[in-house]
Structure 1
Amino acid sequence: MERQLASKRDTRRTLYACLLGLLCALLVSVDLAPVPTKAVEALWPHATGAVYIALEVLCSFPGREGSLLVVAFGLLLARPAATVYLGRDADRPRMRGASTWVVPALFALAMVFGRSFDVAGSAELVCGGISEGIKAALSFIGWLLLARIGIVYLFRLLDRARAAADAEPTGCGARPSPASRAAAFVFDRHPFALPAALLALAWLPCLIGYAPGLFMWDTGTQILQWFGHPNNASSYLNLIDPGTTILTQHHPPLTTALIGSCVQLGMALWGSENAGAFLFTCLQFTAVICSYAHALAALARIGCPRAARMAAFAFVLVVPVYSNYAVLITKDVLFAAALLLFVTQLVLLVRAQRTEGAAFGGRDIALLAASALGITLTRNGALAIAAAGIVPAALVCLRGSRRGEARTGARRGLRIALGTLGAAVAVNVALTGIVYPALGITPGSRREVLSIPFQQTARYVREHEGELSREERDAIGAVLDIDAIGVAYNPNKSDAVKNTFNEDATAEDLAAYFRVWASEFARDPVCYLEATAANYYAYFYAGHASSWSYTSDFSREVMDWEMLTPYFSFSAPDHPVVRALDGLCTLWRTAFQKLPLTTLTMQAALYCWGLIALTAYAAHTRQGRMAVVLAPMWAVLLITLIGPCNAATYFRYAYPLAVLVPFAFAYAVSGACAPGMAPADRPCAQGPQAPGATTPDAA
């Protein structure tokens, strides 16, 4: 009898799970795009009112050609849906918590509104009418159910990885397999040198195939600036002393000097600007690989499970984002490498203060200080990012200095953290306030931090131009070209509007402009919100297939730029090996970009949602130590969201997040063992330690 009852319960549970999976798949597949009138009339020629609305909604579901995919997807979701929504009482506590609902709800909103902005450029597919609202609500429910399954499974996976980090090594008392010994040799015994060598070997085709390096518009601009030639970053500014230098702070002067001096050195030593560009590419390539290898070695020092380190390494090794950007000549790549080193050193500092600071020596202090200066000198406004990382580290050390064990180490860590921040602030103030003005290096334009209000004004002018008073036109016209911004407005990119900024505008002109800006916001807040959403939605909308800007063809286009060719002759080597490797790397990148699942790795949304999920997990598990990693990442994202471009236009603004996310996930599952002791170092509870478990090299 009991068996029969149990069998009936299992049958009902299986049926409910299948129905729930099918419902989820069906709702996710709702098409928010407008339904043609002919499609409704084909079902009911004279439908009106509520019947017409119901038919519109029905026509938004998949047709016959898509029904098999929906059914297949729904059946695949049956078991996960049963685990999450029909779980037994013993399993439910681990699935509770606000984060397992809040993050999916935010994701569902991003998918629904993102689809609307992707198709219509506004929120009209969500708020345009009754049928639009119903379809959006159904889609929201489907994405909510699906995203909650994903977040619960992600949290469970991270929980298991954390538990494994504190468990006994699996090889105790038994001879490990050859694969296990090889992994231990690479990731435990030589956690810096061998991963670096493997990355260099795997990425060598990109270095050769894309020689002398991938160019972008900023690359050409910075080279022209260094050599004192006319360029589009100096022409619009009121230069301090054009007779002395045309260098500006639009691009960080340090990166301009590095790129320009390498080109200059190539021309002096080998008579070739291409050799100089390739020299810089090789130096950047080496710096990027070393930053990744150092992060892996640091994770070994703090006790991160080998499997997590191998997963982070494999992701970076295989996904073409990382190899392509390693040879892209731009300030963003150097900044990301310095940021990864900076965050890694903060993690080591926080761990070391628990053991009287013995594990954080002079070399670590030097790397922390150098990386803090590196991020502030390779990206404008990055001092806030440095502070976002150092402040949580200082708070952890301060808390440790007031209680419990290792007070001396905590106080030492506090001094190191505050000293690093003080040094970074002092150097940046000295450079921007004394050194750069003395050298005649002109500050960047004020327009660079005004993308959001300028886009809002441009959209308002485009939609309400006939309603503007003479006073409003004059106030806007003193700051922007009132006759051009409505036509020039691009929802995804603010450069066209920013380029009309009047560099001679006074503080009074800006004050008058912002008064008009505020009054127009009060009249049409929806217009302002849509302008902002249209400029940034692709950072959170995972459905957009972003174009890949920095290709070898695009690089050759920049090399042939009419501003660059009168002074330089940059070109890719015309050699069959180079052409073959170029084609191979391009094919690999295109495959990742086009295949259904791997395409997510080429989109900014994956890494932004990775940050959100990690933050939720840290809050869910009360891991305060994650703040030293998450706070700088949030600072990067927030600064990016006042920038000029949507992620659908350029991926490079999200590239620093893409660099940090794999290592941040690995850090989230690192155990509570002592610094300097990786899981393979722990003695077995019974029997001798397995062969192949070795002490890791220092990071």
Structure 2
Amino acid sequence: MSKQFYSLLKGQPQAAATHAQGEVQRVREQACQQGASRGHGHGQGRQTGHILAWLLTILACAWVALCTALGPIYRANDTIAHFGLLNWLIFIVTFAGTLGLVYLASSWNNQRATGSNGDQASGLLARGTSAIRTYCQQAYSRLEERAAAHPGLRRTSRWAWRVTQSWQGIMLLLLVGWFWVWATLLASFGADLVSQSREVASWLATLSGAHLPYRQGPTVMDVYPTAHYLWPAQPTYLTDQHNLPLTLLYGGAMALSRQLTGVSDLGIIALAALQLVFAAFCCAVTANRFFQPARASHLPQDDGQPALAAAGSLARALTLAFLLVCPLVVLSTISLTKSPLFAFSCLWWLGIGYQLHLTRKGGGRLPVSSAWGLALSTLVMLCSAKYAVYLVAIQVLVAVISDRKRWKTYLVCLLLPLIIFQGGMTGLFASGAVIKGDPIESKGIQLQQIARVAQRNPAGIPESAREDLVPIMDLDAAGMAYFPNDADKVKSSGNKRKIVVYRWQTVSAADMKAFNRAWAQIGRQNPTIYVDAFLAECYGYFDPADAAYVPMSYYANNGYVQEDTHWIRYWCHGWRDFVAGFAHGWAQIPILGWPARGNFWVIATLLLMACEALRGRWRDLLYQLPLLLLMGVMVASPANNFERHMLPLVFAFPFLLIAFHLRTRQERAQG
């Protein structure tokens, strides 16, 4: 205050008051001017982010709409060149529906989306959908009121609240709720487990002095072909085809079982039980972090911001019901097909990422238990899926850049396990103890494109490209073996009655150098066929009307389980048929069967991430980035709509939805 003000204060109170009001007003105006000048740049940044969010949302909705519109074409084994009026209608309806759904969800309880801030474009869109949003909000409120008034639901609500106060209680509930699937089905598996068992059995036999065929006859490495030029001179039967650590674990357990009982079944049953316990633990600790984020993440409550509330009883009860009822989750608990193990560990990893995200502002150290959990979940992911190497590497880079204060945490808990794992595998490959993976495994899309051309336009293959490919693959056989949904047939994978396309026994490293050149030459003359081959192999992951090519119910009831086992096939044989049939039948029901399909949850996750972007939650998307990368893995995978590849997104969606809802409530409280 000035001296003039103090003199006025002594002799003229009224004048002093008037002067004081003027001083306050002047200070406010100066603050507003300074804030406006500082906020000008921030306003431009927010506008750019808003435009980017809408662009990404439109692309996501357009991709889902395109895949849905292409479904009728590729299910009829047709071409995109015949994209007609019906397909355009499906595209427009799906695009409008998904875009409207994303906008409604993103503007729920969002005052900025009502158009009151003067944004004409947003205001027009908001006014057009305000009636729908208001109706949905009122319906949701009435549902909550009725649930609170119903005695049975009220008791269920109180029970759900009590049982989910700790991760131990959640884990106990899941173990009890899932016990029936292990007790009655014992285990689920497919061809991969059989190959892993054969690899370890052959390796142990060699260590014992047995002389098995190596280059002289068929071996286990010919089932999922690994080129002979990759085989060390010293015979070895361990490969990285199904991830070496997992092969040793699964194959070793079955070998021990054969030594003790004469058959592999006891080892398979024990492995399934251990995976069920691991699944319950991963789901429980993750649920605990999302149900009560403030307490589980030790968030400070004195930072002047509204506290992040705990999830309500209804959200907890619905999440538990999803985990206990959804066939994709239940059947995965005992499925020894490597993807479920990766998915459960990825869920554990995601939960810790959420905890790191919530505590980023304070920059505090991660609790020791969470740090160990992050490192262990990273190792399990690396041991169960090859593409986990790329996910972890990208996440390390993103985390260090976005959360620089805790760079040591990321280097120790993410980068160190990655270096140890990758260094160990590289050393084993170099020593000749293990056969490294064949590079043909990463060329599934390219093989499908070449094979589709060989089948539908063989005259369109340039002679120079044909000469380059002759040492690598039989083009005539490729045309006969081509199947739009699966590249394994072109890779010559399989044990019985397969058409030999890939010349893995004679191809050389020098021959493989010409592959990309030949692929590009063929593509220049057959662009439409290349587009067809690519889309036909991935559209089903984003088409809710497309049934799974290989559903999770397959692993519960197939020839390997029902015919090639000694004990398991006699245990509740008819019940196994019923469970697998029920899960498969539910997924086949139009619309009502969507929750039993993996691609429904993939689409839901993609749209929910678009909602996060529209609300400007870019930092929230950073811990969810691995899920977006996994969608890219699906697109590049060797099979279309392969349900086990979608499991991480299936497991994660209910928790992401809870986090979205709690964050929205917090923003609403902030005004």
TM-score range, shorter chain: 0.7 to 0.9
Between 1:241-250 and 1:550-559, the stretch displaced more is 550-559
Q: Count residues in correspondence.
A: 541
For residue 525 of structure 2, what is the amino acid of its counterpart? R
Alpha-carbon distance, 1:454 to partner:
1.1
Matched, 1:259 2:250: yes
- The answer for the alignment partner of 1:317 in structure 2 is 324
- Secondary structure of 1:444's partner? coil
CA–CA separation in structure 1 for the residues paired with 2:199 and 2:292:
43
Decide which of 96, 106, 129 is 2:63's aligned counterpart: 106
Equivalent-residue separation in structure 1 for 2:574 and 2:170 (angstroms): 26
Classify 1:393/1:541 alpha carbon distance in 2 versus 1 (closer, same or farther; 3 Å): same
For 1:521 and 1:414, the matched residues in 2 are separated by: 44
- Conserved 8 A contact 1:266-1:275: yes
Matches within 5 A, 1:540-619: 540-546=542-548, 549-551=551-553, 555-559=557-561, 569-572=565-568, 574-575=570-571, 578-579=572-573, 581-583=575-577, 585-586=579-580, 588-619=582-613
Is 1:119 the counterpart of 2:76? The answer is yes
Structure having the higher helix fraction is 2
Distance change >3 Å, CA 573–CA 557, structure 1 → 2? closer
Contact 2:460–2:525 (8 Å) recurs in 1: no
CA contact (8 A) 1:340 1:660 kept: yes
Give the conservation status (yes or no) of the 8 Å contact 1:540–1:604: no
* Structure 2, unpaired ranges of 5+: 1-49, 111-132, 138-143, 204-218, 295-309, 493-500
Q: Which residue of 2 aligns with 1:197?
A: 172
1:522 is matched with 524
1:252–1:377: 8 Å Cα contact kept in structure 2?
A: yes
* Alpha-carbon distance in 2 for matches of 1:523, 1:432: 40
Q: Aligned ranges for residues 120-519 of structure 1 at < 5 Å?
A: 120-126=77-83, 132=84, 134-156=85-107, 177-187=154-164, 189-190=165-166, 192-211=167-186, 213-228=187-202, 230-231=219-220, 232-233=222-223, 236-238=226-228, 240-241=231-232, 245-303=236-294, 304-306=310-312, 307-357=314-364, 360-398=366-404, 411=405, 413-438=406-431, 440-499=433-492, 500-503=501-504, 504-519=506-521
Distance across 1 between alignment mates of 2:569 and 2:471: 49
Cα distance 1:370–1:100, how it changes in 2: closer, same or farther (>3 A)?
Answer: closer
Residues 550-559 or 142-151, more deviating: 550-559
Name the CA distance, whole Å, in 1 between partners of 2:552 and 2:58: 37
Q: For residues 98 and 598 of structure 2, what CA distance do their matches in structure 1 show?
A: 18
Alpha-carbon distance, 1:333 to partner: 1.2
Deviations 1:75-125 (A, max 9, x none): xxxxxxxxxxxxxxxxxx9xx955665544333222212222222332144
How much does 1:642 deviate?
Answer: 1.7
CA distance in 1, matches of 2:585, 2:321: 17
Within 2, Cα distance between the matches of 1:325 and 1:145? 34
Contact 1:552-1:582 at 8 Å conserved across structures = no
Higher mean alpha-carbon deviation, 463-472 vs 364-373, is at 463-472
Equivalent pair of 2:465/2:521 in contact (CA under 8 Å): no
* Cα distance, 1:227–1:104 mapped onto 2, change above 3 Å: same
Q: Which residue of 1 aligns with 2:618?
A: 624
Query: Aligned Cα RMSD in Å?
Result: 3.4
Question: Cα deviations across residues 302-326 of structure 1 (Å, max 9, x unaligned)?
Answer: 1452343443332222111111111
Amino acid at match of 2:87: A
Q: Give the CA deviation at 1:156.
A: 4.7
The equivalent of 2:30 in structure 1 is none
Q: TM-score, normalised by structure 2?
A: 0.73
Matched letter for residue 637 of structure 2:
G
- Asked whether the equivalents of residues 209 and 585 of structure 1 are also in contact (C-alpha less than 8 Å), the reply is no
User: Could you give the per-residue CA deviations for residues 427-464 of structure 1, whole angstroms, max 9, x where no partner exists?
Assistant: 13321221344361100111000011111111122223
Compute the displacement of 1:193 (Å).
2.2
* Alpha-carbon distance, 1:377 to partner: 1.6
Q: Which residue of 639, 647, 652 corresponds with 1:645? A: 639
The answer to whether the Cα contact below 8 Å between 1:114 and 1:541 also exists between their aligned partners in 2 is yes
Give CA deviations for 1:672-691 in whole Å, capped at 9, x if unaligned: 999xxxxxxx9xxxxxxxxx
Aligned partners of 1:555 and 1:439: how far apart in 2? 37
Greater alpha carbon shift after TM alignment, 501-510 vs 623-632 = 501-510
Contact 2:234-2:432 at 8 Å conserved across structures = no
3-state SS in 2 of match to 1:448: helix
Match of 2:207 in 1: none
CA contact (8 A) 1:390 1:421 kept: yes
Supply the distance in 2 between the matched residues of 1:584 and 1:218 (Cα, whole angstroms).
24
Q: Is the 8 A contact 2:240 2:436 kept in 1?
A: yes
Residues 416 and 301 (structure 1), Cα distance of their counterparts in 2 relative to 1, 3 Å cut: farther
For 2:265 and 2:539, how far apart are their aligned partners in 1?
38
Distance 1:328 1:205, change over 3 A: same
Residues 251 and 589 (structure 1 numbering): CA distance in 2 closer, same or farther, change over 3 Å? same
Structure 1 residues 415 and 309: alpha-carbon distance in aligned structure 2, compared to 1, 3 A threshold: farther
The 3 A distance-change label for structure 1 pair 144 and 638 is closer
> C-alpha separation between the residues in 1 aligned to 2:465 and 2:363?
63
Q: Structure 1 residues 664 and 233 mapped into 2: Cα distance closer, same or farther (>3 Å)?
A: farther
The 1-side partners of 2:333 and 2:109 are apart by 29
Percent of pairs identical after alignment? 19
CA contact (8 A) 1:455 1:497 kept: yes
Distance of 1:385 and 1:467 partners within structure 2: 38
Does the CA-based 8 Å contact 2:392-2:418 persist in structure 1? no
